[in-house]
């Protein structure tokens, strides 16, 4: 039997979170954190609603996953996030020593690769998973805002 | 009359926060955010107590100050923090567009300058204010832990 728990499977869950953000007028970025094929955290960007620049999807999921696990390190965990993390989120992920990060669309302007942030050397990174869907959602959001 | 609200005055408040962290077994870093000579946020590192890598002093103060102001941008605000911010905190401060950052001791290992993080171009930075006291508190903390 084929394994249903592919990177695409979990990225689709992160995309559902991004769509929830979209529906609230937030820049549509969503995230889930997975351990042993189980989702232990899910979140979406809430910076506008909370008036808080730290309320990125990744930050909320890092806090929620650590709370679930009862410890601050996310070894054995995988983060799925629809957009390349910014330097703030890369920094949080660095401190968490998370095992794997899978992200969708690149963020050539504010992503950690451009801004100069650094992930933990033990963290594996996979990019481009469902990047088309993730990027299209963000483009649609900003196109509507410009109207 | 001499202005009592010097950088040293507010850094001393941040150092009191760092001492509170020390008393809880947390790496002793403290912060305050000031607007018009008024402290609108004060916090200290709580990563151990909260099991949360995102609970750095700066992150908490950014959230608290934005909550106080009712908006996510910290224009006109000054952050006083006893240690050079890490890349996560630099990222949060970048997004907040805070006007000024005053920090105490350099962090040559995990500070944003070493890790490659970037502050907002509009943010003024002053370093080395009461650096001796701030650094000594951290050295004492780690010396005691090694015992």
How would you write B13-47 as a 3-class SS string? HHHHHHHHHHHCCCCCCEEEEEECCEEEEEEECCC
Per-residue pLDDT, B3: 84
Confidence of residue A147 (pLDDT cuts 50, 70, 90): confident
Q: Does A92 sit within 8 Å of B88, measured CB to CB?
A: yes
Across chain A, mean pLDDT equals 97
Identity of the residue in A54, A70, A87 whose CB atom sits nearest the CB atom of B87 = A87
Per-residue pLDDT, A4: 87
Please give the structure tokens belonging to residue B146.
């090694």
Q: Name residues whose C-beta falls within 8 Å of residue B46's C-beta, 6 or more positions apart in sequence.
A: B21, B24, B26, B52, B55, B60
What global pTM score does this model have?
A: 0.96
pLDDT tens, N- to C-terminus, chain B (147 residues): 788 899 999 999 999 999 999 999 999 999 999 999 999 999 999 999 999 999 999 999 999 999 999 999 999 999 999 999 999 999 999 999 999 999 999 999 999 999 988 999 999 999 999 999 999 999 999 999 888
Checking if the pLDDT of A88 tops 90, the result is: yes
Q: Is A117 on the interface with B (CB under 8 A)?
A: yes
Per-residue pLDDT, A74: 98
When scoring A50, A53, A90 by the number of chain B Cβ atoms within 10 A, the one with the most, hence best to mutate, is A53
Checking if the pLDDT of A70 tops 90, the result is: yes
Identity of the residue in A62, A69, A116 whose CB atom sits nearest the CB atom of B118 = A116
**A70 chain-B contacts, CB cut-off 8 A:** 51
What are the φ/ψ torsions at residue B73 (nearest 5 degrees)?
-95, 140
Q: Is A49 on the interface with B (CB under 8 A)?
A: no
Q: Name residues whose C-beta falls within 8 Å of residue A111's C-beta, 6 or more positions apart in sequence.
A: A83, A84, A85, A86
End-to-end CA distance of chain A: 48
CA-nearest residue to A116 within chain B is B116
**B118 chain-A contacts, CB cut-off 8 A:** 87, 115-116
Query: How crowded is residue B70: how many other Cβ atoms within 10 Å of its Cβ?
Result: 7
CATH number for the region A7-141 comes to: 3.40.140.10
DSSP annotation string for B87-142: HHHHHHHHHHT-SEEEEEE--TTTSHHHHT----TT-EEEE-TTHHHHHHHHHHHH
What are the φ/ψ torsions at residue B33 (nearest 5 degrees)?
-120, 135
**B92 chain-A contacts, CB cut-off 8 A:** 53-54, 88
Please give the structure tokens belonging to residue A1.
């039997």
What are the pLDDT digits (tens) for A91-136? Answer: 999 999 999 999 999 999 999 999 988 999 999 999 999 999 999 9
Mean pLDDT of the A135-142 span: 97
Q: Does B54 sit within 8 Å of A62, measured CB to CB?
A: yes
Q: Is B57 on the interface with A (CB under 8 A)?
A: no
Classify strands A78-83 and B100-105 as parallel, antiparallel or unpaired.
unpaired
Classify strands A30-35 and A38-44 as parallel, antiparallel or unpaired.
antiparallel
What are the pLDDT digits (tens) for A16-31? Answer: 999 999 999 999 999 9
What are the φ/ψ torsions at residue A43 (nearest 5 degrees)?
-165, 160
Checking if the pLDDT of A65 tops 90, the result is: yes
Q: Does A63 sit within 8 Å of B52, measured CB to CB?
A: yes
E-state strands within chain A: 30-35, 38-44, 78-83, 100-105, 124-127
């Amino acid at each position: 039997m084929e394994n249903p728990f592919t990177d695409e499977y979990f990225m689709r869950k992160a995309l559902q979170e991004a769509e929830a953000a979209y529906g609230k007028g937030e820049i549509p970025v969503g995230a889930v954190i997975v351990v042993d094929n189980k989702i232990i955290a899910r979140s979406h960007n809430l910076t506008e609603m909370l008036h808080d620049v730290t309320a990125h999807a990744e930050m909320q999921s890092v806090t929620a996953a650590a709370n679930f696990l009862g410890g601050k390190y996310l070894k054995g965990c995988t983060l799925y996030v629809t957009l390349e993390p910014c330097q703030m989120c890369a920094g949080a992920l660095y401190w968490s020593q998370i095992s794997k990060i899978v992200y969708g669309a690149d963020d050539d302007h504010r992503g950690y690769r451009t801004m100069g942030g650094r992930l933990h050397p033990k963290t594996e990174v996979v990019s481009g998973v469902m990047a088309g869907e993730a990027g299209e959602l963000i483009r649609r959001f900003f196109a509507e805002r410009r109207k």
